[in-house]
Structure 1
Amino acid sequence: MFKRPLSIKIRFMSYITIVLIGVFLLISFTFNSVFTQYIESNATKALQYNRSFITNEPLEGPKNHEFSNQTQLIVINSSYQIIEDRPIPNLPNTDPKIQIVNEIKENDIDLNSNEILNINLDDQFIYYTIVTSDKTPGYYLIFYIQMESLTSFQHSVSLVLWIILFFALLLALITMNFMTNSIVKPIKDVQKFAQRIGEGDTSNEYLYYPDLEINQLNQSMNEMVNKLNAQDETQRSFFQNVSHELRTPLQIIKSQTESAQVGISSIHDASKIIHKEVDHLSELIDDILVLSRLESKSNELVKSYYDLRETISTTSERYRSIASQNNINFIYEFDSKPVLFEYNEASFEKVISNLISNALRYARTQITLRCTHQNDRIFIEVEDDGDGILEKDLPHIFERFYKDKSGHYGIGLSIVQSIVNSYNGHIEVKSK
């Protein structure tokens, strides 16, 4: 089950939103964590500094901490009653003494713990420590400190960070909207171009875009259109030629049948001509089917290792009688060792058959068949001693139904080229 596709614009905006929010969350979390540690560290040092006056504990670091003058004092007894409430000298008395004592009582805090603890009152962390002294038996001194200035600063910075996030996200989305529009619009243009091609309109549409990849895509689309047009033209020409080739033997068959019916020619003579044209028609249809299968790659040929010398000699024997009637001899120049190659024997027989058939058309007295193995490459040559092919015809002989000086149409050499190409081979013609 495929997910519903999303537009590029939505995907890009979603990604940038997630990334920005993620980055700002990380920054906010890191800042708050570091700053909270900073507040706790300073509160602890300030409380330790003031506690040292009562307990005479040795201090590590500076003996006068910057926040120590913000520490305040509450004196209670073992029943959690406030006995004396006084600040450090020269500082005003501040509020939350009763809440602190109540929190200590409700949470059953050990009055002899001597630890640095904290409580949260109205979203404000208050750090405190409980100190006992031999000078004041039965009484407990609670030093506490409110880091209001730092906490307020922390909240202010967090608020500023979220405001920055909002405007950064807004600016990023606006920028991304313009950027994605500049990308999506060309893609939609190319999409319409492709849709138009699918509907049969194969006219070119050359457009310029500032993005290299989009330009390359548009260029590739136009190259595809050119190839489609060329293929359509080739196909039209092919069907025209096929129609002509099929019409000719059919007309001959029809005329011979009519001649035999009215007595102009004998049934024997007419049947010989009809038989010949039927063979020609069958061969043409077979060639068309072979070429169609090769181009569509509709069936994967079954391949095995064979000796090419045997395939060539066996195929040439089929033309022995025709060659003898025209006083043409076959000469074989093969390697003494087997020339093994993995191929489909039927397809290679078609190659050799078409090449020999073509050579018989031009040969005077002999056709030379060569098969050699040189430097990990296999060479097959079919040479005749005829007049050769005109230089102007050489570039076109592999074209379907190309008409040479003898007026012959055909697709035999085109089939040969297609089969050779399917084996990643190469074929060429030399004429003297």
Structure 2
Amino acid sequence: MSKAKKSINKSIFTSHLIIILIFMLLTAIIFDLALRIYVRRETRNQIITTGEILQKSINQNSTNLGLDELQNLQVNERGNSRLNSILKRANSILDIKYIVINEDKNIIYPNENINQEDKDTSSELITKIKKNQISNINRGVVINLNIRGNKYQAVSYPIKLQNNSCYLIVYSDLSKSDEVTRKVNFLLFSILIIMAIISLSISTKLAKKISNPIYDVIKYAKNIAERNYTVKEFNFEHEELTELSKTMSFMAAKLSSYDNTMKTFMQNASHELRTPLMSIQGYAEGIRLDVVEDKNKAIEIIIEESKRLSTLVEDLLYLSKIDAMQDDFNLEKVDMKELISSSIDRIKGITIKNEREILFTHCDEELFLYCDEEKLMRAIINILANCIRYSNKIIDISLEKKDEAIVIDINDDGSGFDKEDKEHIFDRFFKGKGGNYGLGLAITKTIVQKHNGIITADNNISGGANFNMILPLQKINT
């Protein structure tokens, strides 16, 4: 069972959603941890600061200060202002209270007029002190307590009241600071939710902005698959998508050209095959019906047309094999002087029959090329055969090395190419005046291209045809 595919929209949206959720989770955890640490530290500092100022104020007035005066502590104007300011600021986010106990750890302040909750809390605090659960009572160290399920922080200081040794215990219920922490976290979470919604909305639009051009290219590709090769220009915002669309358009143009070539090829091939077949069929039926006077001549024509048909079919098969790379190239180091000389020798009979002369000039330097000797020889013979057909007398071949390539230049003294024929010289089934099948030069061009070479055709200075073949010296891969 194949795995279900995801669309680009879903992939981008899902990826952004996961990233946002991870970011929100990490932000919430880190912020909550940092906030709790900060609040705990500030609570501790406020308790210590409050306790130190209360201790200082009480000790400065210890001789005349009684229990009744603790509620309205009077030291001096500056000290009292600082104490009130600290207590007011501390109680804005904290619930700081204090009690005074004697050496027997009995509460001597506050008096009985306090509310029941504070009274119960103070009683439990003293109970824990009596049970020695507070070991640092005389050290001014902040300690943590758990009273009736609530968390408290407390700090104690030694003081003097009317020359009696006592202890000032400043404590705070942390539930108020925890409530502040929860409210801040809730506010942060609300902000993160709003940011996530905005981010996902932007992500959805971004995903559509990326995927819509891709869907346009997919639609264009489907049109190409339906053999609709109309070249279409896209103007996308992203460089990669623009490059993809250009590649698709280039492919469409190439496929259109190839499709037209194949149509022309099939039309020409069927025409070239039909002509000898009709001739063979006509003479064969004439012999069968005994209406042909010269049967020997008819038989010769059938044989000649059969050979012509066989040659045409062989050329078609050869060309298709080279195109499909089914005909392996046997690359080896070949002496190009010997290859061209052998090509001239193989076509010498036709040259003599047509009263032509082939001149071969080359440099003294040895020129070797990694190539398929048989195929490259066939390419050269095809050109020479074409030149023999259209030249008046002389065919000239030159071989030389230029830069990192071997250049073969073939010229004849014929009438050259017509202007309208030049760009079609190497097209399949294109025949000039007096041509055979229009496959020879097409085969030549394909062989040269398979050797990573270039071949061109033009008219030379004297007006005859010129074929220029450039073959790179480096070893090629097939």
Q: TM-score range by the shorter chain?
A: 0.7 to 0.9
Q: Deviation of residue 366 (structure 1)?
A: 2.9
Which stretch of the first structure deviates more once superposed, 207-216 or 14-23? 207-216
Q: How does 1:56-67 map to 2 (within 5 A)?
A: 66=86
Cα separation, 2, equivalents of 1:298 and 1:87:
107
Q: Does 1:22 align with 2:41?
A: no
1:11 matches 2:35: no
Cα deviation, 1:189-227, whole Å, max 9, x if unaligned, reads 4434433443x3516485877645666655654554444
Cα RMSD of the aligned pairs, angstroms, is 4.2
- Greater Cα shift, 127-136 or 141-150: 127-136
Q: 1:131 to 1:282 in 2, by over 3 A?
A: farther
How many Å separate the matches in 2 of 1:336 and 1:211? Answer: 59
CA distance, structure 1, for counterparts of residue 438 and residue 246 of structure 2: 36
User: Relative to structure 1, is the Cα distance of residues 140 and 278 closer, same or farther in structure 2, using a 3 angstrom cutoff?
Assistant: farther
Q: Give 3-state SS (helix, strand or coil) of 2:398's partner.
A: strand
Q: How far apart are the structure 2 equivalents of 1:368 and 1:119?
A: 112
Instruction: Tell me the equivalent position of 1:45.
Output: 45
The match for 1:283 among 295, 311, 323 is 311
Displacement of 1:163 in angstroms is: 1.4
Contact residue 111 and residue 130 of structure 1 kept, 8 A: no
What is the alpha-carbon distance in structure 1 between the residues aligned to residue 170 and residue 429 of structure 2?
108
Q: Is the 8 A contact 1:402 1:408 kept in 2?
A: no
Cα drift, residue 124 of structure 1: 6.5
> 1:127 corresponds to which residue?
153
After superposition, the Cα gap between the structure-2 partners of 1:217 and 1:24, relative to the gap in structure 1 and judged at 3 Å, is same
Residues 105, 130 of structure 2: 8 Å contact kept: no
Q: Give the one of 347, 363, 370 matched to 1:342.
A: 370
Distance 1:265 1:144, change over 3 A: farther
Inter-partner Cα distance in structure 2 for 1:297 and 1:272: 37
* 1:72 correspondence with 2:97: yes
Q: Return the alpha-carbon distance in structure 2 between the equivalents of residues 97 and 319 of structure 1.
A: 124
Q: Which has the larger radius of gyration?
A: 2
Gaps in structure 1 of 5+ consecutive residues: 57-62
Q: Secondary structure at the match of 2:416?
A: coil
CA–CA distance in 2 between the matches of 1:205 and 1:104? 91
SS at match of 2:454: coil
Corresponding letter in the other structure for 1:387: S
Per-residue CA shift, 1:79-127, capped at 9, x if unaligned?
A: xx97327469xx9984755666788999x95614854343577997533
**Secondary structure of 2:339's partner?**
helix
Which residues of 2 match residues 158-177 of structure 1 at below 5 A? Answer: 158-177=185-204
* More deviation, 15-24/111-120: 111-120
CA contact (8 A) 2:231 2:252 kept: no
Change (3 A) 1:392 1:195: closer
TM-score, scaled relative to structure 2: 0.72
What amino acid is aligned across from residue 156 of structure 1 in structure 2? K
- Deviation string 1:395-423 (CA, Å, 9 cap, x unpaired) is 21111111323354412212222222233
- The aligned amino acid for 2:450 is S
Cα 1:392/1:147, change in 2 over 3 Å: same
- AA paired with 2:38? Y
2:106 matched to which residue of 1? 83
Cα distance, 1:77 vs. partner?
10
Q: Does 1:416 align with 2:444?
A: yes
Give, in whole Å, the separation in 2 of the partners of 1:105 and 1:313.
122
Cα distance, 1:28–1:143 mapped onto 2, change above 3 Å: same
**Cα gap change, 1:42 to 1:369, in 2 (>3 Å):** same
- Alpha-carbon distance, 1:329 to partner: 2.4
The range that moved more, 113-122 or 325-334, is 113-122
In structure 2, which of residues 387, 392, 398 is the aligned counterpart of residue 364 of structure 1?
Answer: 392
- The residue aligned with 2:349 is 321
Which residue of structure 2 lines up, in the alignment, with residue 264 of structure 1?
293
After superposing the two structures, state which structure 1 stretch, 188-197 or 108-117, moved more: 108-117
Q: Do 1:186 and 1:209's aligned partners in 2 also have CA atoms closer than 8 Å? A: no
Answer yes or no: is the 8 Å Cα contact 2:55–2:168 preserved in 1.
no
Pairwise CA distance, 1:376? 1.8
Q: Name the residue aligned to 1:430.
A: 458
Relative to 1, partners in 2 of residues 1:300 and 1:37: Cα closer, same or farther, differing over 3 Å? farther
2:340 to 279, 291, 312: 312
Tell me the residue number matched to 1:32. 32
Distance in 1, Cα, partners of 2:129 & 2:3: 57
Q: Please tell me whether the aligned partners of residues 21 and 165 of structure 1 are also in contact (alpha carbons under 8 angstroms).
A: no
1:239 counterpart = 2:262: no
Counterpart of 2:382 in structure 1 is 354
Q: 1:331 aligned to 2:344? A: no
Q: Which residue of 2 aligns with 1:382?
A: 410
For the 8 Å contact 2:160–2:166, the answer to whether it is kept is: no
Structure 2, unmatched stretches of 5+, are 57-81, 464-478
The CA distance in 1 between the partners of 2:228 and 2:127, in whole Å, is 87
Q: TM-score, normalised by structure 1?
A: 0.79
* Per-residue deviation, 1:155: 2.0
Deviations 1:282-314 (A, max 9, x none): 332232223223333446534222222222222
